Structure 1
């Protein structure tokens, strides 16, 4: 009977370059130097979670684990870049072989390599939310749904329904019954629109952000050779912010770590705040059940907050019925007690914040050292008006992301369409910028272009075959 035989490279005893005892506290060091096997690291707020994960990667590399056998999954590009850079600094050489990034970026990387297995071309393009909204709107129109008569949900709401269904691994009907019960009578029509949307994406060589995870999981589940390839490759799987994973992401982690079981997840069950977008804190609670024999490490020294803030946090956390018990302790000295100010209206709240900022400035604190956090961007309006009225300089850091700005989307639409001529939303965005072209004309032009397009015909040549170009647009169309 044939069996797999793994050659173990010979090497002398490990000489560690990093002084882990000096760099880490006892709890961090215990987690960083843990033996192989499943591990859950409960890292309280401000306890050096990122530091622990970074040093764990460095420790594995110093133990002789090849960089390309390690998978590091994070939730933000900033966190991934920071960790990869820090590891490179610690180890002293390039870390390009290390597979590190967000779930979506790693999914994108895998799908580019194996797109053909799912019926896609490797040159598929990725839609943002605005493109998704446009394509779903087209699907609603194609289905001839009277949105006013039926009070059909808006395209962005339909997108949210499909997104939740994918990320929670549920049927669309279940999502609507649980989250959008007022649309239950429209379930068949909504399911039909979402099905049309999926078909259009495939036909046009498009994926949205959810597809980067949904199709990655589909690829691993349905293609054994691909699944085995990545299970063999990733000897160690490390995950940041595990409390924010959803059902789909948890399944991806379990599949990728199935062979070696060297899965280390880091998170804090008390900081799970993304259930509204599908995150399931049960993933972190049930980790020891899904991985029998898993070690649980707790890091409870907080380097960020004063004892007064931690006392408040500990008191709030104590009420949680399901949790990993922890008691955060501060390394900083005492400070002011947190304050709860009850205001009766948004204007009164803005006035309080502005007045308090001026008082703190009078006490010697720089305005640059103050920050105002709000739940949604529309809450900033009253604050901006109040700050302006009192001549308090300020800068807003939230709002539209760079690639969501209209002029940037105009430029990237050219690039998207050149890379993928079947991208309907990119094509229509371009032609709608031309004089005399409206929605109906853009639809006709797209149909004519699609009918004439072949993979061997240059796009410029195909464009000349479109007869629906208005007179006003003849010159820019030719250009």
Structure 2
């Protein structure tokens, strides 16, 4: 954001007009550990962003604040709101805000050298990490065993172990005992996965957090620099933090202890992903003397819905007691409808949709929520049987779509011929080239001198000899494309690829 002009009149925050009494108390809390227990629909984002803006208004430099949340969408929304509130008296562009992984990425770009990584390390997305795990499995040359997990499942094991801060062996004992007979090979493959990432200067998303923790624990001078920089740390959705994220927050706060966490202890539902419920429940024990600020006025639900929610929540054995109150008008009484099975459940939903449409409600005004996408199959069939049009809201992010990743792999390899993951992704796409042929081609590849152009290396007889006969035609097309992309000239590889695709 643009710098605030010298001598410009300072715009003040209107706390009384924008916040209720509970929100204002949390926003105005002084320095030190602050726990905001935000019930559903109680304006937690508004409270957190106003607290950030209030800190800036008090003169805290934006560059000394760290704002952490869980999704890129939530991070963008929070930073936009902070910009709207504080842009008149602070240059919020220097505030470090985003997901845990984004913040870790930014900090590791500055300090990865202390861990033996290049500061130009590559970040693997889920699919790239799976491909590397598949390579590690291929290197092990394991005999077929139906009990052995596939690369995706093995990646999930390693990821969960990292986020729980437990060894893979403990995760197997606690959650996947059926895999114990093949545990030695799982451990060996997991170790190889970590070795390969280190050799290639790669980090997956979990590594960003794990390596930042190692940086802070093993390098006191860097930790002192960062804890000195961050005068205030604020965390959204704290109930969903896992042990690793909780440890990172504690390390970054340091002795100043100026930490604000916002969350709802009654919405912690992600333990299957490693979320640690005790992070929020035990916060007063970890930060003795912390201020606790409940937000109980709900702006989202009717009194009838809240009465049901309060009755359910009251049965929680460990919680910060609170009763939500509605700020809205009365509404319909919620209904719980037991059904015999998933087919009967789908039939009830379809009949209810038909009934509401007959009363004049538009289909576009209706939504059906389900816990997992697999639960939608029977519902989709039932809606189709009744001729009810519907849209399924699901999908993959743009840069993770296979065809986009294929295009990017061409550019990556044209730019850096030792990018193993990019090469293997491309090779496996060629008709007639399998995992074994891909490994043979890559094993031979580093032998060719860097002075040899990419086109000449691909055309070398020794490379051609490793291409299976049934893959020759596809490899020739691949060779021609890579020759085009790696050729010199004023146009970038991206522009040349766009020409080819057009």
Q: 1:57 aligns to what SS in structure 2?
A: helix
Q: CA 1:138–1:314 in 2, change beyond 3 Å: closer, same or farther?
A: same
Q: 1:69 aligns with which of 57, 64, 69?
A: 64
Match for 1:316 among 312, 315, 327?
A: 312
Match of 2:36 in 1: 41
Q: Match of 2:98, SS?
A: strand
* Partner SS, residue 148 of structure 1: coil
Contact conserved, 1:347 with 1:382, CA < 8 A, in 2?
A: yes
- Could you tell me whether the CA contact under 8 Å between 1:453 and 1:459 is conserved in 2? no
Select the residue among 242, 247, 250 that pairs with 1:246: 242
In the alignment, structure 2 segments of 5+ residues that lack a partner are: 1-5, 484-502
Whole-angstrom distance in 2 between the partners of 1:343 and 1:423: 54
Q: Give the SS at the match of 1:327.
A: coil
**Alignment partner of 1:177 out of 173, 178, 195:** 173
How many angstroms does 1:402 deviate by?
Answer: 2.7
Which of 468, 473, 476 is 1:474 aligned to?
A: 476
Q: Deviations over 1:221-272 (max 9, x none)?
A: 1122221221111100000000000110011000000132100000011100
**Is the 8 Å Cα contact of residues 125 and 416 (structure 1) preserved in structure 2?**
no
Q: Report the number of matched residues.
A: 466
Using the size of structure 1 for normalisation, the TM-score is 0.92
Corresponding residue to 1:188 among 184, 187, 199: 184
- 1:434 equivalent to 2:430? Answer yes
| Alignment-derived partner of residue 114 in structure 1 | 111
Tell me which residue corresponds to 2:86.
91
Q: Deviations over 1:12-46 (max 9, x none)?
A: 9x966111011000000000111111110000000
Q: Is the 8 A contact 2:455 2:479 kept in 1?
A: no
1:6: which partner in 2? none
Q: Please list the CA deviations of residues 332-391 of structure 1 after superposition, one character each: whole Å capped at 9, or x if unmatched.
A: 111111111122222222221111112112223222221111121122222222222222
Question: Partner residue of 2:23?
Answer: 28
Residues 325 and 461 (structure 1 numbering): CA distance in 2 closer, same or farther, change over 3 Å?
A: farther
Deviation at 1:463, TM superposition (A): 4.2
Unpaired stretches in structure 1, ≥5 consecutive residues:
1-10
Query: Residues 306 and 145 (structure 1 numbering): CA distance in 2 closer, same or farther, change over 3 Å?
Result: same
Q: 1:81 and 1:428 mapped to 2: Cα distance?
A: 35
Which residue of structure 2 aligns with residue 125 of structure 1?
Answer: 122
Give the Å deviation of 1:439: 2.5
Distance 2:113 2:408 in 1: 25
Please say if residues 306 and 335 of structure 1, whose CA atoms lie closer than 8 Å, have aligned partners that are also in contact.
Answer: yes
1:444 to 440, 444, 450: 440
Deviations 1:189-222 (A, max 9, x none): 2111100111111222221111111111111111
Which range is displaced more, 216-225 or 323-332?
216-225
Residues 445/381 of structure 1: CA separation in 2 closer, same or farther (3 Å cut): same
Structure-2 residue corresponding to 1:53: 48
Q: 2:97 aligns with which of 91, 95, 100?
A: 100
Residues 23-422 of structure 1: pairs in structure 2 closer than 5 A: 23-92=18-87, 95-148=92-145, 151-418=147-414, 421-422=417-418
Cα 1:201–1:46 shift into 2, 3 Å: same
- TM-score norm. by structure 2 comes to 0.88
Per-residue deviation, 1:458: 5.9
Q: CA RMSD in A?
A: 2.2
